[in-house]
Amino acid sequence: MRIIAGKYKGRRLYSANNQSIRPTTDRIKEFIFNVLGDFVEDCRVLDLFSGTGSLGLEALSRGASEVTFVDNSYHSLKVLRKNLDRVKPLEPYGIVRKDVLGFLRKNREPYDLIFADPPFKWGKFIELLPLVFLPENLAEYGIFVLESERTHEIEWETNVYEVIHQKQYDRSIITFFSRKDEE
């Protein structure tokens, strides 16, 4: 696992020995950032279920202005800290050890780009998506990128958000959401 592009390109990242942490593969990460393109530059990024920090660190490497990493696992945050020590990003970042839903309920500073890569067995998407799209969590023109297991029942379109891009990889499905335009 490594940083694919940008100013920290090529830096190797630690992965977890713990099988419950499933980092985003380089192939999927490359797809995500190819779709996002220049959107990442100067974004405030939120990396939910951050695990090893792979997505947030890639965003910093590609020009994000800051990243907040959120995970409630001690083991994940231990690996994340090792990766931050290895990369030594110059940009500001924060680490929050908290349940993702609890973090979103209390947050009051909107992010431009939110990543979420929950464990495959996690089943609270019905709570996650409405919280992500609250104005205090996702900026008006923000993008939400979700990696989920293909079999999960997710409400893909509502009157609040819509799918702008989606692709399947093996067991995963990567979905890009944005807020629906008001008509």
Residue 174's pLDDT band, with cuts at 50, 70 and 90, is very high
Say yes or no to pLDDT of 106 above 60. Answer: yes
Distance separating alpha carbons of residues 48 and 174, to the nearest angstrom = 15
Whether the per-residue pLDDT at 151 is higher than 90: the answer is no
DSSP string, 58-90: HHHHTT-SEEEEEE--HHHHHHHHHHHHHH--S
How many Cα neighbours within 13 Å face the side chain of 102?
7
Q: Indicate the CATH number of 26-151+162-179 among 3.40.50.10260, 3.40.50.150, 3.40.630.30, 1.10.10.10.
A: 3.40.50.150
Domain ranges of the chain: 26-151+162-179
Is residue 183's pLDDT more than 60?
Answer: no
pLDDT score, position 22 = 63
CA distance linking residue 66 with residue 152, whole number of Å: 31
Does 20 have pLDDT greater than 70?
A: no
Residue 121: band (very low, low, confident or very high) from pLDDT cuts 50, 70, 90: confident
Please say whether the beta carbons of 47 and 101 come within 8 A.
Answer: no
Between 158 and 31, the more confident residue is 31
d(Cα 66, Cα 171) in Å, to the nearest integer? 30
User: Rounded to an integer, what distance in angstroms lies between the CA atom of residue 38 and that of residue 20?
Assistant: 32
Q: Find the angle CA(1)-CA(73)-CA(31) to the nearest 5 degrees.
A: 35
pLDDT digits (tens, 9 = 90+) for 59-92: 999 999 999 999 999 999 999 999 999 999 999 9
pTM: 0.94
